[in-house]
Amino acid sequence: MFSKVCAMDVKRQSSGKKKILLVDDDAGVMDVCTQMLQHHGYEVTTSISGEEAIDIFYDMHFDLVILDMGLPGIDGLSCAKEMRKQKNDVKIVISSGNCSDVLSGKESPCNCFHILQKPFTMSELICAVSNAMGRC
């Protein structure tokens, strides 16, 4: 049975797979997304909070970040900005329950590749990730 990967336990691996950082405070959603992404050949690291995600991001290289906007503590937008400071061209997929707010907001996350409206399906997630990965 798949068990969630704790951010601090991750070892650096050069498996050749694309690496994704998945940030969502809902454990169930995160678990399912992880399974699907792994099934599609991605290496997935998860985090349930923005602060932890930023720490992990500083520590490791990721090809893509999937970021939930509605995080407790530091929100997804601030999290994205912090990550941009570290790596300006980091690819980000935003997931939100209310994408119209995200798009019309004054400080929209710049250079985000895709916005996923929750609830999204597996195919929508994989499509968004593939598109984002494709633009490198």
Partner 1 sequence: MNTSKKATILVVDDENGVRQSFNMVLKDIYQVLLSASGREAWEILEKKKIDIVLLDIMLPDANGMDILQKIKEMDPNTEVIMVTAVKEIQTAVKAIKLGAYEYIIKPFIVDDVLTIINRALEKKNLIEQVIYLKDELNRYGYFEKIVGSDKKMLGIFDLIQSICDSDGAVLIQGESGTGKELVARAVHNQSSRKNHPFIVINCAAIPMTLMESELFGHIKGAFTGASSTIMGKLELADKGTAFLDDIDCLDVNMQAKLLRVIQEKEFEKLGSNKVIKTDVRFVAASNKDLPDLIEKGLFRGDLFYRLNVFPIRIPPLRERRGDVELLLQHFLDLHSRRRGRPGRSFSREAINALTEYDWPGNVRELQNLVERVATITKDSVIGLKDLATLSIGRKHIKDMPLKEAVNAFEKQYITEVLESVDYSRKRASEILGVHRNTLLSRMTELGIKE
Interface ranges with partner 1 (CB under 8 A): 1-2, 26-29, 31-33, 35-36, 39, 118-123, 125
Torsion angle defined by CA atoms of residues 102, 113, 41 and 66, in that order, rounded to the nearest 10 degrees? -30
Looking at the Cβ atoms of 48 and 92, the one nearer to partner 1 is 48
CB of 109 to partner 1, least distance (A): 22
CB of 4 to partner 1, least distance (A): 8
Looking at the Cβ atoms of 100 and 121, the one nearer to partner 1 is 121
Looking at the Cβ atoms of 97 and 105, the one nearer to partner 1 is 97
CB of 68 to partner 1, least distance (A): 11
